[in-house]
Structures are given as structure tokens and as C-alpha cells.
Structure 1
Amino acid sequence: MKKIISLWLVCLCCHTSIAQLTPKSEQKNDFTKYYQTEQSVKKRKLTGRLVPIALITTGVLLSTNDFEQSLQKDLRSSIGNDFNTKIDDYTRYIPVLQMYTADILGVKAQNHWFDQTKILILSSLLSNGTSTLLKKEIYKKRPGDYAENSTHANSFPSGHTTTAFTTASVLYEEFKDTSPALAYSGYAFAVMTGALRMMNNAHYLSDVLVGAGIGILATKVVYHFEYLFDWNPFKNLKGVAFAPQYNDSYGLGFYFTKVF
């Protein structure tokens, strides 16, 4: 028993001596850096959760308010009631093009391109699936739909905006630590998509806000549970090229090639 106690005291003394050899200022600096980093990560996670919840909550509250109808009328009057564009059909996919272009150019990302694709698909399925379900369950006419028994009462939420913020959120998560300017740029196109949906008289403000919230939140959920589908057969392969393509007839697609 005495031997065990003696050995324990020797280990304790050695540990104390090593600790004393470390300068106090260095210990303080290391602790300060660790604390600042930890606080920054916690703050970013909290913000990432609050933003989509705030967007969805605000959208739900506005959906039964006369304010958004008045806002929609004023918006259409300011740009012209005959305004119509198809640009929003394409802007929702620009973050995807940005992400794969950055991969090709060698910009460091959080994940391999295969994992990015996997996350993008899962996030899109979750966000658009939720958006589609809400469209069917919630009977809300579009701004330009004046029919009493409309068969297109699927305004809430905006599917285009959901897709736009889903793709923008994936771009953000992949490059937020290595290229912040690139990471945030996707949201500019997402906001543009939502604004154009309103300008086209296809959606109200609440539809856009909820669509944006769903897109961001769904992506956050997929990244949170990323470890559950950690499978990548291409991670150790070389000579593999992968890039997105868009065709007016078939929509968004992908180009894949392998050099042997």
C-alpha cells in the first residue's frame, strides 16, 4: 500500500513540475485562444439555429396579416404589373455551380466532392419534401390567382426559395472556414431568387421567408447528422472529374469522368 501511495506521489510531483515549467503567460494565452475559439463556434452555431427559426416564425405570422398583401400590391405597382422573368429558375442553382467550380479550381472545402453531392441531395430531399408537403396541406392562393376554387393554391411556402437557400447553405457550410466571401455569396443569389418570386407575383413575402428558413434548417440538420452516412468510395481515387451541367430540356445534371 505504501509503495502505491509513494508511486502516486511521484507521478503527482512529476506532473506538477512539468506544469510549473510551462510559462504562465503561455498558459494564459493558450487558454484565451481556446476560450475565444470555443465562444466563436458556440455563437456561430446559435446564430445558425436562430436565423432559420426566426425566418419561419416571421413568415408564419405574416401569412395571416394584411401587411404582406399590401406590400405585394405596392411592389407590383412600382415595377409594373406586367413584369415577368424566368431568371429565378436559374439563380436558385448558381450556388451549386459555385461550389463545384471552386472544387475544380482547388479551393479548400470542408468535404470531398462526393460528400458534398451526398449532402446536397439529402438536404434538397428534406427541404423540398417539407416544402411540397406544406404546399399540399396549406391552402393558400398565389398573389396573381383570383379564382374562387383555384386548383393552384400552393403558394405557401416558395419552392424556388427553398431550393435557393438549400444550395446556398451547402455552399456556406463547405467554404465558411476557408473562403468566407465565396461562402456568403450564395446567399446573395438566394435572396435574389426570393425577391424575383415576389416581383413575378408568384409568392408573398411570408412564402419566401418560410421557404428560406426551411432551406437553411434542413441543411443544418443534414450536416449535424453527417456522421450517420459517412461513406465515400471516391475519396482515395485520383483522376476523377465531376462537374454540374444544366440543360433547358432535362434541367440540372452532372458530368462525371474517370481517367484510367
Structure 2
Amino acid sequence: MRTFLSVLIGCCAVSRAALAQVPAAPDSVAAPARLLPATAWVKRPAVWRVAVPVTLVTLGYLSRNENVLDEMKEEVHEETREHFPNFHTGLDDYSRHLPIWGAYGLYAVGMKGDRGVVPFTVCYGLSHALSTGIVSHLKHISRTQRPDNPADFSSFPSAHTAEAFMTATLLHEQFGKDRPWVSVAGYSVATATGAMRMLNNRHWVTDVLAGAGIGFLSAEAVWRVYPAAARLLPGKLGQKLLLVPTYAPGGTVGAVLMLHN
């Protein structure tokens, strides 16, 4: 079980970063205090909120070469296969989306969030595009072999884990600041997704930890920049734009920009 605990501890390093927020003001969609200057998102988070995820991504990338990091990830992989040789599940294909489904479910039952449904959806679309773009680029330049298929060079970083932590971070920002149980649920699902990617023998531990860092940073960056960016648009256009992610056969990812009346 040491392998499983290693994944939980590593992934939760990012989870704890998201949970340690500055206390939020009472829910109010139009509260002026939420419209921060363009530079506020840089000053407000502590340095470690950026440093920890960036470090996870950097160490994961360095583990491509033969060094102590490479030896560590292979040792964790061997222990994983030893303790869970027959583990297989397809739940990780769905669990990565659970936090965002949960967010819209909370909207549906009337729970008030930090922002309206349209701005939240825009943030989700932009975060998804940013996270997917970073993951795809790193997969292309790192060319890391998957543990279950040496002919597949798309292991680093884990796209499933990045998506899971990106959606969990958005769920936390929208509903979890005053409701810790929401954040705990979202990050627990994200952590379980990363663990399943390892147990399914699809990723190394470094892939999973890097994916968690990318997902967290993508959501945090978009969430903090969006209010300032929306104010630059004419009138109330920032509240009416809806960015919807799209998917096409072969894994192509795109987005459609819509005007919501």
C-alpha cells in the first residue's frame, strides 16, 4: 500500500494548496470587491501555491532521463504492479469530469456560487483549453514511454489527472470557499483519478503529480485573470460570452464562442 499512499500524499500537495484560501466575502454575484485589478491575482496567492505545482512538473520532466527521479518512479511502478497486478477499471475516464458535473449539479439545486453560471462556464472553457494545450505540448516534447506500452511515447504528463485537478479547483473556487466539504469531495475525486491512472498501469507517478500541478495552475490562472479581462470587454459582453469546449474524433479539442442573451 506504500505506492497508493505515495500517490495520495503527492497529489494532495496540490489539493492543500487550493484549500488554503484567503477567507471569501459573502456570496454576491455583483460584489465590487470581487473585481480585482489585473495584477491582483499575482500578488494574492502565496508563492508556494505556484512553486509547488511548478516543481512537480519540473521534476516529472527531469525524470525522463536516467537519474534518481527515474529510478524512483520505476520503483514505485514495480511496487504498484506487485500489490495490484490485476487492477483494471475504466472509472478514471469518467471521474476526471465528476467535479465539473458536481458544480453544475449544485447550480441546478439552487446553490449560490462565487460567480454566475455564464462566467463560470467561460472559466471552465478557458481552463480546459489552457490545461489541454500545456499537456499536449509537454507530451510532444517529452516523448515519455508509457509503463504498459513502450511503443507509446505519450505518458508525460497525465491528461486525465490534469483534467481532474482542473475541474476540482474550479469547483473549489466556485462553491468550496465557504463549504469545505465541497472542496474535500472534489479533490478526493481528483486524487482518486490520479491513483487509478497509476493502478491501471497507464502512467508513472511523476506523470500523475505533474498532471495535478498543471490542472491546478491552469484553473487558478484563468479564475484570477478572468474578472479583469472581462472588464476590458465593451458593456456587459463579458457576462454574455460563453466558451464551450468541443471534441472531435481522433482526440481533437477545440472551443466554440457563443453569445448568451
SS at match of 1:220: helix
Cα distance in structure 2, aligned partners of 1:50 and 1:130: 17
5 Å-filtered alignment, 1:191-210, equals 191-210=191-210
Q: Which residue of 2 aligns with 1:68?
A: 73
Q: Which residue of 2 aligns with 1:111?
A: 115
In the TM superposition, residue 61 of structure 1 has moved relative to its aligned partner by: 4.5
The structure that has the greater radius of gyration is 1
Q: How has the CA–CA distance of structure 1 residues 101 and 114 changed in structure 2, closer, same or farther, with 3 Å as cutoff?
A: same
Work out whether 1:139 is the aligned partner of 2:140: no
Gapped regions of structure 1 (runs ≥ 5): 1-35, 235-260
In the TM superposition, residue 58 of structure 1 has moved relative to its aligned partner by: 3.9
Q: Which residue of 2 aligns with 1:48?
A: 49
Cα distance in structure 2, aligned partners of 1:156 and 1:196: 16
In the TM superposition, residue 54 of structure 1 has moved relative to its aligned partner by: 3.5
* 1:159-210 superposed Cα distances (whole Å, 9 cap, x missing partner): 1111111101111111232212102321111110100000000000110111
Q: How has the CA–CA distance of structure 1 residues 179 and 44 changed in structure 2, closer, same or farther, with 3 Å as cutoff?
A: farther
Q: How has the CA–CA distance of structure 1 residues 55 and 184 changed in structure 2, closer, same or farther, with 3 Å as cutoff?
A: farther
Q: Which residue of 1 aligns with 2:173?
A: 173
Q: Would you say the 8 A contact 2:64–2:144 is kept in 1?
A: no
Q: Would you say the 8 A contact 1:58–1:209 is kept in 2?
A: no
Q: Would you say the 8 A contact 1:131–1:157 is kept in 2?
A: yes
* 1:62-87 superposed Cα distances (whole Å, 9 cap, x missing partner): 4442111111011011011x321101
Q: Which residue of 2 aligns with 1:85?
A: 89
Identity in percent: 33
Work out whether 1:94 is the aligned partner of 2:95: no
Q: Would you say the 8 A contact 1:63–1:206 is kept in 2?
A: no
* 1:28-65 superposed Cα distances (whole Å, 9 cap, x missing partner): xxxxxxxx979xx9886445323322432443354442
Q: Which residue of 1 aligns with 2:15?
A: none
1:78 partner amino acid = H
- Choose the corresponding residue for 2:239, options 221, 225, 232: 232
Give the alignment's Cα RMSD to 1 decimal: 2.3
Normalised TM-score (structure 2)? 0.67
Cα distance in structure 2, aligned partners of 1:120 and 1:190: 16
User: How many equivalent pairs are there?
Assistant: 192
5 Å-filtered alignment, 1:141-156, equals 141-146=145-150, 150=151, 152-156=152-156
2:202 partner amino acid = A
* 1:204-235 superposed Cα distances (whole Å, 9 cap, x missing partner): 0110111110111111111121121351239x
Q: Which residue of 1 aligns with 2:3?
A: none
1:233 partner amino acid = K
| More moved, 87-96 vs 41-50 | 41-50
Normalised TM-score (structure 1)? 0.68
